[in-house]
Structure 1
Amino acid sequence: MRCNRRNGLETVKPTIGIVGGGVVGLCCAVALLDRGYGVSVFERDADYNAASWGNAGHIAVEQVEPLASPSVLKSVPNRLFSAGGVLGLPPSMARRWLPFAARLVAASTPARFAAGTAALTPLLAGAMPAWRDLVAAIDAPGLLREEGHILVWDSAASAKTGRQRWSRTAIGTARIVDAEPELLRRLGFLADPVGGAIRFTGSGQIADLRQLATTLEAAVEARGGRIVHGGVHLIDGGGRIVVAGHDVDQVLVTAGVRSRDLLEPLGYRVPMIAERGYHIRARADGWPADLPPIVFEDCSMIVTRYADCVQAASFVELGDPDGPPDPRKWDRLEHHVRSLGLPIEGPFERWMGARPTLPDYLPAIGRSTRHANLAYAFGHQHLGLTLAPVTATLVAAMLAGETPAIPLAPFDLDRFGRKGPHA
């Protein structure tokens, strides 16, 4: 327990063990510490190699439509890596992705897609305001850039099709404008003139992911929280969860793709897949420092300038988080960079990380109905960075016994049912 003194009265708040020190876990830690809780963050990795610190840096407020949708299912054949697309389904990992694919199909009905969009819309509407509040709270306003992002097509034909598709897509608080002539002039380094381009406003990016990680960790420790590196073991203590070897009152699981391994032995059904993404990084010498992220939609690649490097990222590969990477995907990224004429020169740093994705493409945020001291916030798929601060505010309110500003019922883990005693 942690004692706090307010207005001359001493109050006692529980200590919370947060299992998972990625961006969601650290944001939750800051929010809970600011409410007076004692917090220990348990993080198994110390090398900043998780998806939280290797993503595109894009605050994607426009992505209110879940990828579990009829249109995405129809497009699968053209999206396959073997057809030149972005989707990898490794045969060696079929036992992982086949059950997930069956659940994804079931979640992609028009009715469930509409319900998923309705659930994500308020979350994403709160994303940018929550980021503004967070960077102010940790005294790091320079981490947040709000210049939107650019979307480029190779040809006039694909630009026409793309514009029509985006005009029918729900984009939440974002807005679309034509790319101004000056912006197109600045893209003159491309090997061929662009077929078309639009600019999204209302979205943003993180200026440097490693700096975000270290700043959040410093903010946790400055507020009296602990960061403990190393794995932990969760034990069913008969209606309560115990973190072996540690004295905490409540447990919050924010371990991303590792949350499945933590919770399924305790009887929870967590049908999550590792949605593996790839990036290459190089020195930023030739890339304009003030360009916002650029999405090259025809090759499903996003290029982001960070403080001292430029990164190209792509691919949706469903499989094992610990399986070996596929070097062909890095090779294809390098091919895209060369063929587009991007001012990015190697040697390239290669990275692969696993997004935590549930089959309906909604996160799991809530409290356990089986263990009184267990809560969770994971499964944010492509939106972990985007939704980390707003998730933290909702979790902090929930644990304080308040009514969260956004209903959490659509994100309850029990939507996937419960495991039987011998499952």
Structure 2
Amino acid sequence: MNKLKVGIVGAGIQGISNALFLQKKGFEVTIFDRENPGSPAASYGNAGHFSPYASLSLNRTDILLDVPAMLMSSTGPLALKWNYVPKMIPWFMKFIMNTSKNKMMHTAKNMHQILDLALPAYDELFDEVDIEGLVENKGILYIWNDKDLKSRELEINVRKELGVQQQLVNKKEIHDLEPNIKPFYHAGVYYPYARHARNPKKILLKFFDLFRKKGGEFKRLDVKSIDFQDEQPILKTESEKYLFDRVVVACGAFSKKLTDNLDEKIPLDTERGYHVHFKNCDHLLQRPVIFSNRGFGITPMEQGLRVVGTVEFGGLKNPLSKSRIKNLINNAKYMLGDLPEHEDEWLGFRPTLPDFLPVMGPSKNHKNVFYCFGHHHLGWTLGPISGKIVSGMIAKENTNLNLAPYSSTRFN
């Protein structure tokens, strides 16, 4: 029997992880992307966290009370591009419907189910590449001041209920972990088993090289639409057509163009995330530190200290907001005092659904098209486990996981 041919749209951490796990199962895989792997998209510019504890998402019972204050605050984690608000209204309405206690716990449980498997899935891939110096096992630290206590209690209690390991830390313990942070904090939580990437792009490229070494093909082409010959999917680019047995749509925030084209109404939108680097300062922190009140974090990386954060709703077309960059710089100095001139202003797109669960599984209308997108802030953490799950679906393997909550049919 001929090997089944699978085409994947997207060469970020989701697409490449899908490809590697499909190759393990004996499929022949071609990846399409309009940019080269490692281009300045979300898999390049993320915070670099491997965060298996992050089961509680933005659809929390307390978020609606906080939103107006967040929007008014210049140091806050949330911003809107006002020209995009009309387009966002249907998404926000669905989001509000997902902030009840039941819906919050539904999301948390089903994120926990896959987050629990996230690091072992990475380790399966790490076994096959040399990641010397690229992954640090020093945990991740969250800190806050008293103003923010109620929100933190909700988080801690939900994680406790799910059985997430967490270590509450006091002022002295935070100082011992990170002596260079200014002492504005009152308490925090430390996740000792979390890890961080010293350079997400390099890790992604190691995975991509492995994919090529195993016979995978890459085509730098923009997939415009998906057509069908009988049930077989055809990927159409500007000038060519490619026929496959199965197709995986894994192009993050850009997936909606293709799901719309397949006549499936998936309410995917984008949270715009930013970063800057402070070069030669990575010695100031041992591990990623997130200041919860202001919704930003700093990760020590090869490129320097990477300051990441803020959620901006503004779609894929609006330009970078200088005020968001300024916000990151001010926040970094608030945490660490004097820093040199920043570099590398970056904007990327996190694909987000109103219930904060990803979409993984077959398309509603076409059994040979599979989806793997919508992982919001956890795309980097969840790449390999998502690839493993979707490749298992394509191979028709049995699983003891409950995969129904990730199906696209939940929106129909």
What is the TM-score when the length of structure 1 is the normalising length? 0.89
Matched, 1:243 2:235: yes
2:300 counterpart letter in structure 1: R
SS at match of 1:70: coil
Aligned to 2:17: 27
Superposition pairs of residues 20-59 of structure 1, within 5 angstroms: 20-46=10-36, 48-59=39-50
- 1:92 maps to 83
Question: Aligned in 2, Cα 1:199/1:91: closer, same or farther, shift over 3 Å?
Answer: same
Deviations 1:178-232 (A, max 9, x none): 2695751463433445433432222221221111121111011011001111201
- The gaps in structure 1 that reach 5 residues or longer are 1-10, 418-423
Question: Aligned partners of 1:107, 1:240: CA distance in 2, in Å?
Answer: 36
Match of 2:263 in 1: 267
For the Cα contact (< 8 Å) 2:360–2:406, is it kept in 1?
Answer: yes
Displacement of 1:405 in angstroms is 4.0
In structure 1, C-alpha distance between the alignment counterparts of 2:41 and 2:152, rounded to whole Å: 34
What SS class does the counterpart of residue 126 from structure 2 fall into?
A: helix
> CA contact under 8 A between 1:64 and 1:117: conserved in structure 2?
yes
Q: Which residue identity does 1:49 align to in structure 2? A: P
Question: After TM superposition, what 4+ stretches of structure 1 lie above 4 angstroms from structure 2?
Answer: 159-163, 179-183
Greater CA drift, 174-183 or 97-106: 174-183
Match of 2:396 in 1: 401
Residues 329 and 342, structure 2, Cα contact 8 Å, conserved in 1: no
**What is the DSSP-based 3-state SS (H/G/I as helix, E as strand, rest coil) of the residue aligned with 1:365?**
strand
The range that moved more, 132-141 or 18-27, is 132-141
Aligned residue number for residue 203 of structure 1: 194
Among candidates 96, 106, 119, match of residue 110 of structure 2: 119
The one-letter amino acid of 2:14's match is V
Q: Deviations over 1:69-106 (max 9, x none)?
A: 32222221222154642111221111222111011012
CA contact (8 A) 1:273 1:319 kept: no
Instruction: Output the CA distance in 2 between the equivalents of 1:414 and 1:159.
Output: 37
Asked if residue 310 in structure 1 is aligned to residue 310 in structure 2, the reply is no
Contact kept, 8 Å, 1:287 with 1:343, in 2: the verdict is no
Q: Go from structure 1 to structure 2 and tell me whether the alpha carbon gap of 1:174 and 1:398 turns closer, same or farther (over 3 Å shift).
A: same
TM-score of the superposition, structure 2-length normalised? 0.91
**How far apart, in 1, do the equivalents of 2:232 and 2:72 lie?**
45
SS in 1 for 2:96: helix
Alignment of 1:319 onto 2:321: no
For residue 12 of structure 1, give the secondary structure of its aligned residue in structure 2. Answer: coil
Distance 1:44 1:200, change over 3 A: same
User: Judging changes above 3 Å, is the alpha-carbon distance between structure 1 residues 102 and 160 closer, same or farther for their aligned structure 2 residues?
Assistant: closer
1:291 counterpart residue number: 286
Report the CA distance between 1:174 and its aligned residue. 3.2
Tell me the SS of whatever aligns to 2:158: coil
Q: Note the aligned Cα RMSD (angstroms).
A: 2.2
Distance 2:217 2:16 in 1: 11
Kindly indicate whether the alpha-carbon contact (under 8 Å) linking 1:394 and 1:406 is maintained by their aligned counterparts in 2: no
Structure 2 CA distance, aligned partners of 1:141 and 1:369? 42
Q: State the SS of the aligned residue for 1:389.
A: helix
Aligned to 2:405: 410
Partner residue in 1 for 2:157: 168
Partner residue in 2 for 1:351: 346
3-state DSSP class of the match of 1:332? helix
The amino acid across from 2:131 in the alignment is A
Query: 2:159 aligns to what SS in structure 1?
Result: coil
Alignment check: 8 A CA contact 1:149 1:200 kept: yes
Indicate whether 1:386 and 2:381 are aligned.
yes
Aligned length: 404
Please give the secondary structure, in 1, of the residue aligned with 2:247: strand
One-letter identity of the residue aligned with 1:242: I
Partners in 2 of 1:181 and 1:102 — Cα distance?
Answer: 43
Q: Following the alignment from structure 1 to structure 2, what is the Cα–Cα distance between the partners of residues 14 and 192?
A: 58
2:134 equivalent to 1:138: no
Percent sequence identity over aligned pairs: 25
Match of 2:249 among 234, 253, 256: 253
Question: Which stretch shifts more, 208-217 or 129-138?
Answer: 129-138
Q: SS where residue 230 of structure 1 aligns?
A: coil
